A = this chain, B = another copy of it.
């Protein structure tokens, strides 16, 4: 699993069926690379989170038909930027 920081919401049009009503967040890793994660737990910008990839991402979404390859699995307590970029 990866450590990401939530950057902002992602607004899309013409979204596919299984993602249609889901919250998507733009997240960044320690190198500043952006990815998009499904958020089933409710996070806000600035939160450090654990993200789950691969087929586990679909299970973590609560329904394996949900077409995500990256899902937020938890909010990390007491993480600071210095520990992240070592």
- Knowing A18-B60, A34-B30, the reply to whether A53 touches B75 (Cβ < 8 A) is no
**Number of chain A interface residues as a range:** 35 or more
- Knowing A11-B76, A68-B1, the reply to whether A54 touches B52 (Cβ < 8 A) is no
Nearest chain B CB to A58 CB, angstrom units = 6
Nearest chain B CB to A61 CB, angstrom units = 9
A34 touches B74 (CB 8 A): no
- Knowing A35-B2, A54-B54, the reply to whether A12 touches B77 (Cβ < 8 A) is yes
The closest CB in chain B to the CB of A1 belongs to B36
- Residues of B contacting A69 in the complex (Cβ-Cβ under 8 angstroms): 1, 52-54, 56-57
Confirm or deny: A13 has a beta carbon within 8 angstroms of a beta carbon on chain B: yes
